Amino acid sequence: MTTIKFILNAKRVYQFLGLLICMLLIQVLPSKLLSEDFTTNPILDKITFDISEISADGLIGSVDGLRYLSYEFCIPGNEQAVERIKTIDSTINIYRQSPGRINCQNNQYLCVGETHNKQWKEILLSIAKLDYVERIDQFWGE
């Protein structure tokens, strides 16, 4: 009989500890998530220009000189990488022979995109999340 009481008491202790841990997590996790600074995200470190200057519509500049921002980055020189980029944004231009100002290597393709739509931020972040994209620079076309 004492063994059964001991087991029942141990079970209650474990239930209590589990409940206590859950309560602690409920208290700690939201504050941790809210304290994450979006600007210290390593994905954003790949983007070398200030995306806070871009409006929700993808425009930068003064009121009388608004324009879309163009950006460039390098991808591996294979069709699989091209297809992946095109699924993110079908309007991105791929240049197989030009290094661009970003200086893509011989085994890489230059990609040039624009903040031309309301999904510009999601597109840019999706590109930055790709492991093989090392850097995204503002493109200064000539």
- Backbone dihedral angles phi then psi of residue 73, each to the nearest 5 degrees: -160, 165
Kindly report, residue by residue over 76-119, the tens digit of the pLDDT. Answer: 999 999 999 999 999 999 999 999 999 999 999 999 999 998 99
Q: In this predicted structure, what is the pLDDT of residue 27?
A: 56
Q: In this predicted structure, what is the pLDDT of residue 1?
A: 57
- Give the three-class secondary structure for 68: strand
**Is residue 67 scored above 80 in pLDDT?**
yes
- CB within 8 A of 44, min separation 6: which ones? 38, 51, 125, 128
Least confident of 2-6, 24-28, 74-78, 92-96: 24-28
**Is residue 38 scored above 50 in pLDDT?**
no
Question: CA-CA-CA-CA torsion for 29, 31, 33, 36, nearest 10 degrees?
Answer: -140
Tokens linked to 64: 């009388």
Q: In this predicted structure, what is the pLDDT of residue 41?
A: 76
| Residue 141: band (very low, low, confident or very high) from pLDDT cuts 50, 70, 90 | confident
**Is residue 69 scored above 50 in pLDDT?**
yes
Q: In this predicted structure, what is the pLDDT of residue 43?
A: 86
Q: In this predicted structure, what is the pLDDT of residue 33?
A: 39
Domain locations in the chain as residue ranges: 2-36, 40-138
pTM for this structure? 0.70
**pLDDT, the chain, mean:** 83
Right CATH for 40-138 from 3.30.230, 3.30.70, 3.90.1530, 1.20.120: 3.30.70
Q: In this predicted structure, what is the pLDDT of residue 35?
A: 39
